């Protein structure tokens, strides 16, 4: 374990800080976190309606203009960042937890356990994820919590396959056989010895998964079955932008840029983490 920690401290961070694209992604992610965190302190009320200021173009008082109800677009984008990040992290947290549990069981025990879990994974992968989410939401009330749970429960398959592969590789290593010969229980072998060494690809998958979850939430909100107004979401802001595209370009451009930059940031960071954790890369 000392060697593992030394690698993370001395190699991982050194590789990451020399990766300009990863640092750019980290910077974008950090800015979005600050925007979401400081939205109540520096932003206006995103639900404040003033029809006398409807569809104002960007100007000093309203740097990103106003929408059809006179609401400040900048404030709504800032509060929308809170929604997007919440959905991203909760959904990915659910998917990661489910994937780790099922992947660990399949990889550690093998046999019929592995067969059942992997056939279930194959069945889930047969359905296009987005259409599966649409089908489930059709039977449920469209709310932010339902969206997070549904996205999480329909996107765990990749994590499960990664964890299973790592467990299949690690369970036959000498340090695992030694721990088993000393009487270590299955739970101890899984939680203390194998799982900590199998989390590197999961970290990469989770980082990239946040971007995917944000995209799915935005798409669902754009279709009107995601986060419901008046709660600001980048996706439901694009609905208004679509309706007024000819006369109010800012209602489409700024929410679209927010989605683009956030997804780009997480993708760049995820790729950088993957490169930093790859032992095959030379110094």
**Of 116, 118, 120, 110, the residue nearest 169 (C-alpha):** 110
What are the tokens at 228?
């419901």
Q: Is the pLDDT reported for residue 6 higher than 60?
A: no
Q: Is the pLDDT reported for residue 3 higher than 50?
A: no
**Of 1, 47, 161, the residue nearest 96 (C-alpha):** 161
Q: pLDDT tens for residues 35-81?
A: 988 888 876 888 888 888 888 899 988 999 898 888 999 999 999 99
Q: Is the pLDDT reported for residue 133 higher than 90?
A: no
Q: What is d(CA 186, CA 40) in angstroms, rounded to the nearest whole number?
A: 48
Q: What is d(CA 209, CA 32) in angstroms, rounded to the nearest whole number?
A: 16
Contact status, residue 82 vs residue 36, Cβ threshold 8 Å: yes
SS3 44: coil
Q: What is the mean pLDDT of the chain?
A: 86
pTM, two decimals, is: 0.87
Percent of the chain whose predicted confidence (pLDDT) is above 90: 36
Homologous superfamily of domain range 2-277: MetI-like (1.10.3720.10)
Q: How confident is the model at residue 188, as a pLDDT?
A: 87
């Amino acid at each position: 374990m000392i060697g593992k920690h030394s690698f993370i401290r001395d190699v991982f961070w050194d590789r990451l800080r020399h990766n300009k694209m990863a640092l750019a992604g980290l910077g974008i992610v950090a800015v979005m976190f600050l925007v979401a965190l400081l939205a109540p302190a520096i932003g206006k009320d995103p639900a404040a309606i003033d029809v006398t200021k409807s569809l104002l173009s960007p100007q000093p008082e309203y740097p990103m203009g106003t929408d059809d109800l006179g609401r400040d677009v900048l404030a709504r984008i800032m509060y929308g960042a809170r929604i997007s990040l919440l959905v991203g992290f909760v959904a990915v947290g659910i998917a990661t937890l489910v994937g780790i549990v099922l992947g660990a069981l399949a990889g550690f025990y093998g046999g019929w356990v592995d067969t059942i879990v992997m056939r279930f994974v194959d069945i889930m992968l047969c359905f296009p994820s987005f259409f599966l989410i649409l089908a489930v939401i059709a039977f449920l009330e469209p709310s932010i919590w339902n969206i997070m749970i549904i996205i999480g429960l329909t996107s765990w398959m990749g994590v499960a396959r990664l964890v299973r592969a790592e467990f299949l590789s690690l369970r036959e290593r000498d340090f695992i056989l030694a721990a088993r010969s000393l009487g270590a229980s299955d739970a101890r072998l899984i939680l203390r010895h194998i799982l900590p060494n199998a989390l590197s690809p999961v970290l990469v998958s989770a980082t990239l998964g946040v971007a995917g979850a944000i995209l799915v939430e935005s798409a669902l909100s754009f279709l009107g079955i995601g986060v419901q107004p008046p709660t600001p979401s980048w996706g439901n802001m694009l609905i208004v932008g679509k309706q007024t595209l000819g006369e109010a370009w800012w209602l489409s451009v700024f929410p679209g840029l927010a989605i683009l930059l956030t997804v780009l940031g997480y993708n760049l960071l995820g790729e950088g983490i993957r490169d930093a954790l790859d032992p095959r890369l030379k110094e």
